[in-house]
Amino acid sequence: MAQAVQAHFEGKNFFIKGLNLPDGDVCWVQTDRQQATHNIPLKAMGLANHPRLHILNFVDDSELHQLTIPQPKQSEAAQIARLRNAVSERIEGLNIGTLILDLYDDFQTGDTKNGKKMAFDGRCNLRWCMQMDLAIVGINYSFKQTGQNAAKRLQDRSAGNLKGQASASWKITLVDAEELSEAFGIIEAKPGPGEGTPETIQVRRGTQDEGDYVGLFSAYDGPLNQAEERLEKFYQALPEVQFTTHEAVVIGDHTKTAPTRITVNRYLKDLSDGKHTWLTRSSRGVWRKSWIPPVSGH
């Protein structure tokens, strides 16, 4: 979002079509970390203390922080309404075109099992932005962790994204390079019905080794066949005799061809009943090669 804001202030098109922000300034509501932490990427892009970027930080601002205290005798909907009113009062009179809620979860119900409550909150936020005549961008923790160190799978992230989807028009999901086993990640931007064309953009992120700001996205135009090459290298590393799925996981980690068990399982599927038929499953969790690759030079 910082990159989208930077492009907006510089009068440039963002590389995700449809994510060009409406006219006006931007207000960034920060609820989970102090402003000094948020300023690290903003400084790298020349946005810290920018006259058109207005910051409301719930960690640094005691009054806003106090409004987040749960009230036992007050409904969750009423508590969220207090936050909306406080934000509206702070930005009244400013030429705000975009309101970024970071985190969006603080402006939605915590009961994800109650669809009616989520729908009500979603409509409230939609009516809120209509009344203020601006666009709301919600950044939320949309993943659920299920025994993994991180939620790397797209389906895990989307499964926890019901709150955001209750009222969202455009839905933007990041799929990292590690999950794809590629040199690039993917940004999926899906508009609402009749609101634009879905886009899938291949991107890479800057690293300190390259002198770029860590995490800065740019369009990726490098080779696209690295996943296939890695799949073949993984297959080459497998033993000629039969092996177990656990042994394949160890091999994938040691050779850095398949960094997670999820990737190994996908590779085994691709190599047995997917695009290739190079593996045969002898029994549950036991495999053997059914095709021996030719030796170079023979």
**Structure tokens that stand for 87 in this block:** 């934000």
- Indicate whether 92 belongs to any domain: yes
Predicted confidence (pLDDT) at residue 268 exceeds the cutoff of 80? yes
168, 185, 212: which is the final residue of a domain?
168
Quick one: 122 and 251 in the same domain? no
Residue 97, domain member (yes or no):
yes
pTM of the model: 0.70
Tally of CB atoms within 10 A around 166: 20
| pLDDT score of 294 more than 50 | no
Q: Tell me the pairing of strands 199-205 and 286-289.
A: unpaired
Range of the domain at 158: 2-168
Asked if residue 161 is part of any domain, the answer here is yes
Torsion of Cα atoms, 197 then 97 then 76 then 56, to 10°: 130
pLDDT tens figures, 139-195: 876 554 444 444 445 555 555 555 566 567 888 877 777 666 667 788 888 887 777
Do 216 and 250 lie in one domain? The reply is no
33 and 116 in a single domain? The answer is yes
The CATH number for 266's domain is 1.10.10
* Residue 109 backbone dihedrals phi, psi, to 5 degrees: -65, 150
pLDDT in tens, 99-145: 999 988 888 877 767 778 888 888 899 899 999 999 999 887 655 44
Helix 261-272, helix 245-255: angle, nearest 10: 110
3-state secondary structure 46-107: CCCCCCCEEEEECCCCHHHHHCCCCCCCCCHHHHHHHHHHHHHHHHCCCCEEEEEEECHHHH
Domains held by the chain: number: 3
Residue 296 falls inside a structural domain: no
